[in-house]
Amino acid sequence: MILKIPWVDRTRCTRELDCKAAKYCKKGAFKVQPESEDEPGKARDFPWVDLEQCKQCGDCEKACTERAVKMV
Ligand code: SF4
C-alpha cells in the first residue's frame, strides 16, 4: 500500500497564523511559520509538514478551510 502525504497548494493557501490544518493535526506535524513582519496576522511563509512526525491520517486535508491541503 502506498501512503499519501500532505501537500500545500500555494495558489490556495492564505498563510493564516490561525491555520486550521495545523490546529487539527494531532501529531503537531503541520507547521505554521512565524508571523510576517510586513503582513500582520499572516505567516511569513507557507506552512510545511514534518514527515518524521506525520502519520498520514489526512486530518489536515479535511480541516483546511481554503482546500489548500491535499493528500498526494
Ligand atoms: S496527515 Fe495527519 S499527521 Fe500528517 S500533517 Fe496531516 S493531520 Fe498531521
- pLDDT (tens digit per residue) in 7-53: 999 999 999 999 999 999 999 999 999 999 999 999 999 999 999 99
Reported as a pLDDT band with limits 50, 70 and 90, residue 2 is confident
- Domain ranges for the chain, please list them: 12-72
Q: Which of 7, 23, 24, 56 to mutate to test the pocket of ligand 1 (most atoms within 8 A of CB)?
A: 56
> Cα angle vertex 69, ends 68, 70, to 5°?
120
CA distance 67 to 6: 12
Q: Is 15 left (phi over 0), alpha (psi -120 to 50) or beta?
A: left
**Three-class DSSP category at 22:** helix
The CATH class that applies to domain 12-72 reads: alpha beta
